[in-house]
Amino acid sequence: MADHAGDHDSLAETVMEKISDKLQGHDSSSSDSEDDHADKPSADAVKAKIYRLFGRERPVHKVLGGGKPADIFLWRDKKVSGAVVGFATTIWVLFELMEYHLLTLVCHILILALAISFLWSNASTFINKSPPQIPSVILPQDTVLNVASALRIEINRTLAVLREIASGKDVKKFLAVIAGLWVLSVMGNSFNFLTLFYLIVVLLHTVPMLYEKYEDQVDAFAEKAEAEIMKQYAVLNEKYLSKIPKGPLKDKKLA
């Protein structure tokens, strides 16, 4: 009986020890999870403090739209990206280096296509082959209306931005737009429209890809450059811009 009672007591002690161990493990895990939750905002705060170019908060792919155009610019679809750059290069070579004209090129392409189709259709009866199936191409009305609507929205947005800049409310934006237009005028004086368009296509397919690959180094350099630019702008604003009259004084009384 005594042995049976001792075994019962040892069994009860073992069960109590296991329960206490589980409770302690649960408390430690809950405390660890609380510590993790306490540390997470600090990690997010540190991540939020990282400088990104132009105040960017989203990945480059999302900034570019996050769809098929972004995949093409970032070379996620290498075949399509290569085809776009190759087509732009071919057009530039034809019109710029070989001095081809657009109307001449279109006419030659149509002559070649119509001649091949005509000869194939008439020769199919002699060579016992089916004539070519020429597809019927029709522009859908919805697509045309969507494109026109998108262009209208972008044009109205551009006009609104230009109106805001011309009103003199934001000196910084005014100077940035003037500098951008001046750079475009210099480039337009150095290159013709086709070459400028080709350069823009090449830049769109190289700069975003390289920036996404080396964004940490570029952002660090841009942070230093922006700090220096803001310092020079503060000096310029203190010496000259702040002294420019912005309109009639509010305290001026009519005679």
Q: Which tens digits make up the pLDDT trace of 102-129?
A: 889 889 999 999 998 888 888 877 777 7
Give ∠ CA 52-64-54 in degrees, rounded to 5: 25
Q: Taking residues 68-73, report their average pLDDT.
A: 87
pLDDT tens sequence across 149-180: 999 999 999 899 888 888 877 788 888 888 88
Residue 24 falls inside a structural domain = no
Across all residues in the chain, what is the average pLDDT?
Answer: 77
What's the pLDDT at 39? Answer: 47
Decide: pTM greater than 0.85.
no
How sure is the predictor about 65, in pLDDT bands with cuts at 50, 70 and 90? Answer: confident
CA-to-CA separations, 144 to 147, 148, 179, in angstroms, rounded = 5, 6, 35
Name the more confident of 54 and 222.
Answer: 222
b vs e for 43-55, b when ≥16 Cβ sit within 10 Å of the residue's Cβ?
A: eeeeeeeeebbee
**Which residues contact residue 174 at a Cβ distance below 8 angstroms, ignoring those fewer than 6 apart?**
165, 168
Count the domains in the chain.
Answer: 1
Inside any domain, residue 27? no
Phi and psi at residue 150, to the nearest 5°: -65, -40
Does 6 map to a domain?
A: no
Q: What is the pLDDT of residue 90?
A: 92
The answer as to whether 202 is a domain residue is yes
Instruction: Mention every residue, 6+ apart, whose C-beta is less than 8 A from residue 59.
Output: 212
In a domain, 218, yes or no: yes
Rounded Cα distance between 219 and 57, Å, is: 12
Q: Is residue 229 part of a domain?
A: yes
Domain that holds residue 150: 53-97+142-243
In a domain, 12, yes or no: no
Residue 24 has pLDDT above 80, yes or no: no
The radius of gyration of the chain from alpha carbons, rounded to an integer in Å, stands at 35
Percentage of residues in the chain with pLDDT exceeding 70? Answer: 75
**Amino acid (1-letter code) at residue 182:** W
Structure tokens at 6: 């001792």
pLDDT band at 14 (very low <50, low <70, confident <90, very high): low
Residues 196, 187 contacting (CB under 8 angstroms): yes
18 in a domain, yes or no?
no
Confidence check: pLDDT of 12 > 60:
no
- pLDDT band for 55, please (50, 70, 90 cuts): low
Give the tens place of pLDDT for each residue, 204-218: 999 989 988 888 888
